[in-house]
Amino acid sequence: MSGSPQRTLVVGVVPAQPDAVVTHAASLAAQLGARLVCATVDPGRYVVEEHPDGSVRSMTLDPDIAEGREEGFDPELETRLRALLEPTGVAWEVRALAGDAARALAHLADTLDSMMIVVGTREGGIRGSLHELFNGSVAVHLAHRQHRPVLVIPLAPVGLDAPLPWESGS
């Protein structure tokens, strides 16, 4: 396929996320002959410059943090991704983004002309439920606010008769 643009999948990653999101995304990328772009979004920063490859230069929203510090991709997360992805043979790279997660992932997918965006479900429990109550689900925002397919990897599925995480009160 020389001369053809490379197929791309964008996957949203966060430090405490279960490996299943990345391993499922890598499996799909391998089947589709696509590269995987693993993107993490820092909501405490805003974009000041965007580069053609979708990477950004950002600044912190917190006035108490030194402004000269450039935020990059979390080295521990990148090491974990390398351990998961190197054995798969899938081409992959990372991007550190800033701002609203759904908007940042959608914009990156547009910039890279990604085939789809892969995200995981939110963690269960009160913390995850409160986050979704106040901020909404990244997957829901993506599904309704951009045109690419969104693949949601279930991280803590419940049975068909069990209460959903936001119904259980846990």
| Tokens of residue 160, six digits | 């068909």
CATH number (3.40.50.150, 3.40.630.30, 3.40.50.300, 3.40.50.620) of 8-168 reads 3.40.50.620
Look at residue 159 in the predicted model and tell me its pLDDT.
76
Look at residue 95 in the predicted model and tell me its pLDDT.
95
The number of residues in the chain equals 170
Which among 95, 155, 132, 58 is positioned nearest to 105, based on CA atoms? 95
- Using an 8 Å Cβ cutoff, are 93 and 116 in contact? no
- Using an 8 Å Cβ cutoff, are 92 and 117 in contact? no
Per-domain boundaries in the chain: 8-168
Residue spans of the chain under pLDDT 50 = 1-4, 125-135, 170
Look at residue 149 in the predicted model and tell me its pLDDT.
93
Say if strands 92-98 and 116-120 run parallel, antiparallel, or are unpaired: unpaired
In percent, how much of the chain has pLDDT > 90?
Answer: 45
Instruction: List, for residues 39-88, the tens digit of each pLDDT value.
Output: 999 888 888 888 888 888 877 777 666 555 556 889 999 999 999 999 99
